[in-house]
Amino acid sequence: MITRRTALTAGLASAVAARFISARAANLPGVTPTEIKIGNTAPYSGPGSSYSVIPKAEAAYFKMINEMGGIAGHKIVFLSLDDAYSPPKTVEDTRKLVEEDGVDFCFCSLGTPTNSAIAEYMNHHKVPQLFVGTGAGKWADYKKYPWTMGFQPSYRTEAQIYTKHMLANVKQPKMGILYQNDDFGKDYPLGVRDVLGADWDKIVARSVTYETTDATVDSQIAELQNAGCNVLLVGAIAKFAAQSIRKVYDIQWKPMFFMSNVAISVGMVMQPVGPEKSIGMISTQYLKDPTDPEWKDDTGIGAWRTFMAKYLPNGDTTDAANVFAYGAAMTMVQVLKQCNGDFSRANIMRQAENLHDFGVPVLLPGIKIRTSHTDHRPIKAMQLQRWSGKGWVRFGGLIEGANA
């Protein structure tokens, strides 16, 4: 027989437990006993829409993980919103994800200007902003952005590599730079200046910008040619990279041509623009190119192809953006595994800063993911490569830049 005292004690215990669970839920936004809610913004429309394949592939990867049982009994709910590559829209979308949808954290939101628009908000509210889809050097500033972490190598380091290659291979170089007028593009002249120093004015003949709202960059390319440049560096997203390649080809200009590695996907840029139009163009790589015959029998690319066939059957297997998404999502899942069931924001950030030589099989051999509390640059090394007209041919060894 249950006494009144026993019933009261049981009722009190239930009430305490309920309050504990409620308090715990309040301290774990986006986490339920069965789910982890992750937010993302990406340009499904607008000038950066060609990169929308990235969140689609990431969603497919998380679907695969969920079918395998999830992480510590939790299924991943991936909420991705269209920001049209517009910073004000990114702010609106991110506030919705955090304040209304109650995500635990944001993963791989795409774009430098868009992530820049939300970085202070995310860091003020201590919401992890992980593996952002941008190589801006600013994300390495762990003191200013302790809750933000990049993924790919920095654009500034990339520009340093191009500048050193130019100095070693071009007599009397006259460089022209075309870059997007935001924090993404501005890293390229910064990297050039890191190397040239006081010689900037002697070597850089002209530096011009474009806006993402511009119809074309034809006039900027013509201006750089007319300035007598024999070296061209373009820091652009895919749409404007393709325009640059077409214009350089059409005016029969033959500079040493460097292109940002965010805009060199075979499926997204090189084939659509015309593979013959950029022969000799130089870029960098840190991922295995799925169109490179060298990786035909590679186990990492083989696993990626199996994933694509099952979970993204209509996806373009010549588009390196799908490889990027696969590698970034794999790294995110590793962080969640290291959490050992504690998906608090603080622990997620702690584990993101605790990746030691994590091997992502679609990265070039010799490149490992390494992070720490004072190192928010997961990937630091790249290799130069040249477009042959049929594919990218890598040359030289892996290179790490000194700066973020």
- Say if 4 falls within a structural domain: no
Q: Are residues 51 and 149 in the same domain?
A: yes
The model's pTM is 0.87
Q: What integer pLDDT is reported at residue 25 of this predicted model? A: 42
- Say if 228 falls within a structural domain: yes
Determine the average pLDDT of the residues in 216-226. 98
Domain extent for 165: 155-285+385-400
Determine the average pLDDT of the residues in 73-96. 98
Total of domains in the chain: 2
Strand partners, 210: 180
- Say if 2 falls within a structural domain: no
Q: What CA–CA distance (Å, rounded) separates 15 from 280?
A: 71
Q: Are residues 143 and 168 in the same domain?
A: no
C-alpha count within 13 angstroms, C-beta hemisphere, residue 91: 9
More confident position, 11 or 48: 48
Determine the average pLDDT of the residues in 1-5. 40
pLDDT greater than 80 at residue 20: no
- Say if 174 falls within a structural domain: yes
Q: What integer pLDDT is reported at residue 402 of this predicted model? A: 57
Give the pLDDT confidence of 327-356 residue by residue, as tens digits: 999 999 999 999 999 999 999 999 999 999
Q: Are residues 179 and 140 in the same domain?
A: no
Q: Are residues 116 and 246 in the same domain?
A: no
- Say if 28 falls within a structural domain: no
pLDDT greater than 80 at residue 11: no
Over pLDDT 70: what percentage of the chain? 92
pLDDT, the chain, mean: 92
Q: What CA–CA distance (Å, rounded) separates 326 from 323?
A: 5
pLDDT greater than 80 at residue 98: yes
Task: Give, for 57, the enclosing helix (H) or strand (E).
Answer: helix 53-67
Q: What integer pLDDT is reported at residue 21 of this predicted model? A: 38
Determine the average pLDDT of the residues in 365-390. 96
Q: Are residues 126 and 186 in the same domain?
A: no
CATH code of 104's domain: 3.40.50.2300
pLDDT greater than 60 at residue 5: no
Residue 395: which pLDDT band, with cuts at 50, 70 and 90? Answer: very high
- Say if 18 falls within a structural domain: no
Give the pLDDT confidence of 116-156 residue by residue, as tens digits: 999 999 999 999 999 999 999 899 999 999 999 999 999 99
Over pLDDT 90: what percentage of the chain? 91
More confident position, 358 or 27: 358
Determine the average pLDDT of the residues in 359-376. 97
Strand partners, 179: 209, 235
More confident position, 97 or 9: 97
Query: 374: exposed, middle or buried (C-beta count within 10 Å: 0-12, 13-18, 19+)?
Result: exposed
Roughly what angle, to the nearest 10 degrees, separates helices 112-124 and 183-196? 100
Q: What integer pLDDT is reported at residue 401 of this predicted model? A: 64
Give the pLDDT confidence of 271-322 residue by residue, as tens digits: 999 999 999 999 999 999 999 999 999 999 999 999 999 999 999 999 999 9
Q: What integer pLDDT is reported at residue 404 of this predicted model? A: 43
Q: Are residues 142 and 46 in the same domain?
A: yes
Please report, as a single letter, which amino acid is at residue 157: T
Q: Are residues 323 and 196 in the same domain?
A: no
Q: What integer pLDDT is reported at residue 28 of this predicted model? A: 87
Q: Are residues 334 and 313 in the same domain?
A: yes
- Say if 8 falls within a structural domain: no
Q: Are residues 246 and 395 in the same domain?
A: yes
Give the pLDDT confidence of 162-195 residue by residue, as tens digits: 999 999 999 999 999 999 999 899 999 999 999 9
Q: What integer pLDDT is reported at residue 400 of this predicted model? A: 83
Q: Are residues 270 and 391 in the same domain?
A: yes
Q: What integer pLDDT is reported at residue 249 of this predicted model? A: 98
Task: Give, for 42, the enclosing helix (H) or strand (E).
Answer: strand 35-42
In this structure, the number of other CB atoms found within 10 A of the CB of residue 201 comes to 8
Lowest mean pLDDT among 52-56, 153-157, 205-209, 325-329: 153-157
User: Any idea which residue has 């990786």 for tokens?
Assistant: 295
Q: Are residues 106 and 166 in the same domain?
A: no
Give the pLDDT confidence of 237-280 residue by residue, as tens digits: 999 999 999 999 999 999 999 999 999 999 999 999 999 999 99
- Mention every residue, 6+ apart, whose C-beta is less than 8 A from residue 104: 28, 29, 30, 31, 36, 37, 38, 128, 343, 345, 348
Q: Are residues 328 and 363 in the same domain?
A: yes
Determine the average pLDDT of the residues in 8-28. 43
